[in-house]
Amino acid sequence: MENRPTRTEDSPRRRSAPTTPPRPALRELLTRWVEKKVFGEKKKKSADEGALGILALAMFVGFAAAFVYGFQAQSSVRSGLWSTAVFVGGAALALGGLLGFLFGIPRSPREEQPSSGPNAGAANQTSGRYRGNTNLEDISDWLSKILLGIGFAQLGSLVAGFSTLGDFLEPALGDFSTSKLFGMTVVVYFTIGGFLYGFLWARLHFGRLLSQAEVEQKAEQRGKVEALDLLDEVLRHPKLFGGKRILWVDDNADDVKRDREMLETHLGVTIRMVTTTDEAIKDAEDAKTKDQGYDLIISDMARPGDTQAGYSLLDKVKDKNIPYVIYSTSMQPEKEAEAIEKGATGGAATSADLLLKVSSALGKHS
Q: At what angle do helices 75-104 and 135-153 cross, to 10 degrees?
A: 120
3-class SS at 271?
A: strand
- The domain limits of the chain are 39-106+135-234, 239-364
| Overall pTM surpassing 0.85 (yes/no) | no
DSSP3 helix / strand / coil % (the chain, rounded to 5): 65, 5, 30
pLDDT, averaged per 10 consecutive residues of the chain (366 residues), comes to 46 46 48 50 56 87 88 83 90 90 73 48 43 60 72 70 84 86 90 90 80 68 63 66 90 91 88 93 86 90 92 88 91 88 90 85 77
- Taking the C-alpha atoms of residue 107 and residue 128, their distance in angstroms, rounded to an integer, is 22
Rounded Cα distance between 50 and 23, Å, is 38
The residues, any chain, with a CB within 8 Å of residue 320's CB and separated by 6 or more, are: 343
The predicted structure's pLDDT at residue 151: 66
Structural contact between residues 331 and 347, judged by C-beta atoms closer than 8 angstroms: yes
At residue 272, the pLDDT reads 93
pLDDT at 52: 82
Q: Are 271 and 248 in contact (CB under 8 A)?
A: yes
CATH hierarchy code of domain 239-364: 3.40.50.2300
Determine the pLDDT at residue 332: 86
State the pLDDT at residue 10: 46
pLDDT at residue 251, rounded to an integer: 93
